[in-house]
Amino acid sequence: MSYLFPTYARWDVEPEKAIGSYMTDKNGKEYLDFTSGIGVCNLGHQPAKVKEAVKKQLDSFWHVSNLFTMEQQEIAAKILASAAEMDAVFFSNSGAEANEGAIKLARKATGKTKIITFENSFHGRTFATMSATGQDKIKQGFGPMLEKFVYVPFNDIEVLKTEMTEDVAAVMIEIIQGEGGLNVGDASFFNELQKLCTDNHILLIVDEIQTGIGRTGKPFAFQHYGLKPDIVTSAKGLGSGFPIGAIIGKEYLKEYFGPGSHGSTFGGNPLSVAASIATMNIVFQEAFLKDVIVKANLLMTELQNSLTSSPIVKEIRGLGLMIGIELTVPVQTILSELRSNGLLALPAGDKVLRLLPPLTISDSELEHGLSIIQTVLKEYSKTAV
Ligand SMILES: Cc1ncc(COP(=O)(O)O)c(C=O)c1O
């Protein structure tokens, strides 16, 4: 009997050790990890520089509270804000908390309440972020939701236009919908979206919780499209596995988040901040990001070449090292077959196989992962058609 609430449909794999791109389970079976702890361990498992920074901080202090000035928080905020081309940071513990705070900030700064989000979006599990999420299954049994969220189809500028009314505080968007099916936004759509937000004085909030921290080959995915968001949220890869999230905003927003307006006991925890500085110092280097693009191109090209003709593959899409393979069959069976063959991967919705390999993955590890995917899909398609 388990004493845990059964909120997760857990896999039958119990990790014993994880280093670099690999995990070994309690039975000694080795897996190549294309999940990165769901987009968290972007530098692989146990990156040395991050471990070293956390150990050093552990020997100084690991919690004192946000009543104190902490140099490390200032350093982390400067690196993060500069990478996002913004000016102010609030540290939270998770992605949902970052989005929750972003929603509060947008309401306070505009004095308005309506927030437009997108069908199939995912923004978190707290009340405001669940309300912002454009998927009914996430909300089942928890109603009523927070008011004033409306959902429009992703990549549909005409429907969006009809909702850009005077009472709109913000548009909140993912550049790639990760949980909702690995749906990639169109450049032309983002272009129009930015124009609409600027012209109507509506805040643009970009949820970069899954797409940020180098995952797509830029510090943040919005930078592929020249967007100028007012608020960006980050988490997952920001601390390489130590819990940290962030609201990143423009200078003018500082006045709406004055003393006492928002807070978090654990937000900006010194250990997480140390992990975050070490992570960002690696990921935001130009050469590192260039390398992510090279690997991403290799992976995408090989997937396209080997799988496009498969009868069970509908589409392969993605940006950087965030790739989705849309299948004609349920993804859970494929994931289980991949695990049997030594590869850990993720679902995105019911039929999309989501690949989030570590950004540090080597070419030979990529080839190894590819060959497992090719073998499993080939074998499965024999029985499925
Ligand atoms: C785009 C996006 N926003 C928000 C969240 C919620 O983050 P957390 O689970 O850290 O609360 C997630 C998590 O998957 C996400 O992918």
Residue spans per domain, the chain: 15-33+286-384, 48-283
- Binding-site residue positions: 95-96, 122, 125, 207-210, 264-265
Percent of the chain scored above 70 by pLDDT?
A: 100
- How would you class 383 by CB atoms within 10 Å of its CB: exposed for 0-12, middle for 13-18, buried for 19 or more? exposed
Q: Is there an atom of ligand 1 within 6 Å of 174 CB?
A: yes
For residue 143, give the DSSP letter.
P
76 vs 244: CA distance, rounded Å: 11
pLDDT in tens, 24-72: 999 999 999 999 999 999 999 999 999 999 999 999 999 999 999 999 9
Radius of gyration of the chain (CA): 21
What are φ and ψ of residue 219, in 5° steps? -50, -45
Ligand 1 centroid distance, CA of 239 (Å): 14
pLDDT in tens, 234-282: 999 999 999 999 999 999 999 999 999 999 999 999 999 999 999 999 9
Residue 230 CB partners (closer than 8 Å, separation 6+): 106, 170, 203, 204, 205, 249, 250, 253
pLDDT for position 340: 98
Can you tell me the mean pLDDT for 122-141? 98
Give the CA diameter of the chain. Answer: 63
Spacing of C-alpha 257 from chain mean position: 24
Ligand 1 centroid distance, CA of 172 (Å): 13
Closest C-alpha to 335, from 322, 354, 307, 361? 354
355 vs 365: CA distance, rounded Å: 13
217 vs 7: CA distance, rounded Å: 33
pLDDT for position 383: 85
Does this chain's domain 15-33+286-384 share its CATH topology with 48-283? no
Tokens 């965030």 sit on residue: 322
pLDDT for position 351: 97
Could you tell me where the DSSP H helices lie in the chain?
A: 36-39, 48-58, 71-83, 95-110, 127-132, 136-139, 157-163, 187-199, 270-283, 286-307, 331-340, 363-384
Q: Is there an atom of ligand 1 within 6 Å of 95 CB?
A: yes
Q: Is there an atom of ligand 1 within 6 Å of 21 CB?
A: no
155 sits in the region (left: phi over 0; alpha: psi -120 to 50; else beta) called: left
CATH of region 48-283: 3.40.640.10
pLDDT for position 385: 59
Ligand 1 centroid distance, CA of 36 (Å): 14
- Binding-site residue positions for N(2)-acetyl-L-ornithine: 125, 264
pLDDT for position 375: 97
User: What is the token pair recorded at 30?
Assistant: 């080795």
Q: Are 70 and 273 in contact (CB under 8 A)?
A: yes
CATH of region 15-33+286-384: 3.90.1150.10
Q: What is the mean pLDDT of the chain?
A: 98
| Residue 59, SS3 per DSSP | coil
Residue 349 has pLDDT above 90, yes or no: yes
Ligand 1 centroid distance, CA of 125 (Å): 8
Residue 317 has pLDDT above 90, yes or no: yes
End-to-end Cα separation, the chain, in angstroms? 40
218 vs 84: CA distance, rounded Å: 10
Mutation to probe ligand 1, out of 154, 182, 210, 216 (largest number of atoms < 8 A from CB): 210
Can you tell me the mean pLDDT for 74-100? 98
